[in-house]
Amino acid sequence: MNFTITPLDKSLENKIQHKINLKTKPVGSLGILEKIALQIGLIQQTSVPSLNKPTILVFAGDHGIAEKGEVNPYPQVVTQQMVYNFLHGGAAINAFCNQHHIDLKIVDAGVNHDFDQIEGLIDAKIAYGTNNYENEPAMFRDECCKAIQTGASLVTEVYNDGCNIIGFGEMGIGNSSAAALLMSYFTKISIEECVGAGTGIQGDAKKKKQAVLQSVFQKYKPASANEALATFGGFEIAMITGAILRAAELKMTTLIDGFIVTAALLAANAMYENVLDYCIFAHTSNEQGHQKMLNFLEKKPLIHLGMRLGEGTGAAVAYPIITSAIAFLNNMASFEEASVNTSES
């Protein structure tokens, strides 16, 4: 499918920056908040931006590589168990979304389990997990395209419901391995530097994970971003890729979470330029490769709290910072309004 993603329209940049500079503060004294306010103002093409119906979509999918347990300390069944936990409101992402009044939607992108149309779960299952990329590409090309399309369609639905700021999370045992493979493909950084602890793998187990993924990486030579996503990715990662692309096309502010979501962004960015204009990077994950991803994209995140949980938790925790940026832009007095004299005499 094709997307039309235009570069950020900067025609209002001087007007918005002037408004920021005239607030009752020294120029630049609100630091990153000023940059966020300007970016969102440009995305929305207004000097009085608003954050409407903030939403996080969590995509869940299983990975064929995880069935053998070579790269993951937790069994594949944990993916489905965590989906139930999301639906019952017991996960960290539930707590943070409730705290900050963020709408949370859970999507079955390709979990190896039948959920029987359980209430609250969006059934977008492509298949019961991906193929094991030790033996064959993770997805058939049409499956990957369908996943991208589905992620995009879900964002369109949220947008049509009034949302203009969106974040993405994921759940999938084995997906840090898929993300490491994608990271190495798009950044040209060695697999050894891309592979991290995932759900807690260490020592000899981590070395085995690196060796398995190095073998997988050498097995394939994808000729395009789409082919790389189909070869190494997961259904949840492909859906996030499509979701990021559609959000940019619709000129929504997009909160980028940690290692897995940034891997999806690497794919999206390789497919279409201008995507990054609409992204705010929420946090630095403690997963080894994430800082290197951010360096590759030349982006600085809002916070670094040592988190590496996934689920979209970094995006949810960073969201109040973004609300503060909009609050000062819209509600803080100017020098003239406050009758504050800025002259030296």
Which tokens in the block code for residue 47? 């000097």
Q: Are 229 and 130 in contact (CB under 8 A)?
A: no
Q: Are 36 and 321 in contact (CB under 8 A)?
A: yes
User: Which residue in 59, 174, 61, 177 sits closest to 113, CA to CA?
Assistant: 61
From 143, 170, 287, 311, active-site residue? 311
Q: In sequence order, what DSSP letters do the residues of 158-190 get, joined into one string?
A: HHHTT--EEEEEEE-TTHHHHHHHHHHHHH---
Q: Put residue 256 in one of left, alpha, beta given phi > 0 → left and psi -120 to 50 → alpha.
A: beta
Give the DSSP H or E segment for 107: strand 103-110
Q: Are 113 and 98 in contact (CB under 8 A)?
A: no
Pairwise CA distance, residues 280 & 297, whole Å: 12
134 catalytically annotated? no
Question: What b/e string do you get for 113-147 counting C-beta neighbours within 10 Å, with b at 16 or more?
Answer: bebeeeeebbebbbbebbbbbeeebbbeeebbbbb
| Residue given tokens 């190495």 in the structure block | 184
**Residues labelled catalytic:** 311
